[in-house]
Structure 1
C-alpha cells in the first residue's frame, strides 16, 4: 500500500498536475513493482504565502511525500528516489533543486483498507522488493 502527497504552489502545480501524477506513477510501477491500476495521489495546491521554501528553490518547488507499508529494501527505495529525480527533471523540466522527496513507512498492521488491517489482507503485489 502506498499513498502520495504532492505539495506545491497552486499556479505552478495545477498546470503540471496530470503529467506529474503520470510520471510519479510510472516510477512507482517500475521501481516499487505496483500494479498499473494502483494509484493514490493527492495534490495540495498552496498559495505562495502558505508554502515556505528553501532559498535554493524557485516558485516551482515541489515536495513529494510517499506513505507506505514498510518492507522495501534500502536499494529499492534509493532506486525509486533516483528514478523520480531522473524522470521528473527530464519530463517536466523541473530542476532537482526544486524537488524534495520523503518516504514515510509504517508497519502493515498500522494500515486499514477494504475493512481489514494491512497485515490481514492479501495484496496483489509484493511489498518486500
Structure 2
C-alpha cells in the first residue's frame, strides 16, 4: 500500500497535474507491480513563498515523498526511482534535474487500514 505525495508550486494546469499523478501511477505499476487499488497518490500545491527552491532547481521542480512497507531490495527501489523519472520526463515534460524523491519505510506494524493492522506478504 504505497502512499505517495507529490508537491509542486501552484499555477499548473489540471492536465499537467493529472499527468504527474498518472506518471507516478504507471511507474509504480511498472517497477513494483503495485496493484492500482493499493496505491494512494495525492498532489499538493504550494504557494511560491511557501515552497522555495534550492539552488539548481527550477520553479517547475517536483518533490515526491513515498511511504512504502519495508522489504524491497536496493535494486528494486532504484528501478522505481528510474521509472518515476522516466515517466515524468516522457509524460509530463519534467526535467530530470527537477525531480527529488524521498522514500520512507515505516515498519509494517505501523500501517493500518479499515481500523486494523495492515499486514501483507512481500
Determine if the TM-score, normalized by the shorter chain, exceeds 0.5.
Answer: yes
Per the alignment, in what secondary structure is the counterpart of residue 11 of structure 1? coil
Distance 2:81 2:2 in 1: 14
What's the counterpart of residue 93 of structure 1? 93
What's the counterpart of residue 66 of structure 1? 66
Number of equivalenced pairs: 122
Q: What RMSD, in angstroms, separates the aligned Cα atoms of the two structures? A: 1.5
User: Do the aligned partners of 1:13 and 1:45 also contact (CA within 8 Å) in 2?
Assistant: no
* Structure 1 residue 33: Cα displacement: 1.3
* Structure 1 residue 38: Cα displacement: 2.9
User: Do the aligned partners of 2:21 and 2:43 also contact (CA within 8 Å) in 1?
Assistant: no
What's the counterpart of residue 113 of structure 1? 113
Q: Note the 1:1-129 alignment, pairs <5 A.
A: 1-12=1-12, 14-119=14-119, 123=120, 128=122
Which blocks of at least 5 consecutive residues in structure 1 are unaligned? Answer: none
Which blocks of at least 5 consecutive residues in structure 2 are unaligned? Answer: none
TM-score, with length taken from structure 1: 0.86
* CA deviation map 1:43-82 (0-9, x unaligned): 1100000001111111111100001111111111000001
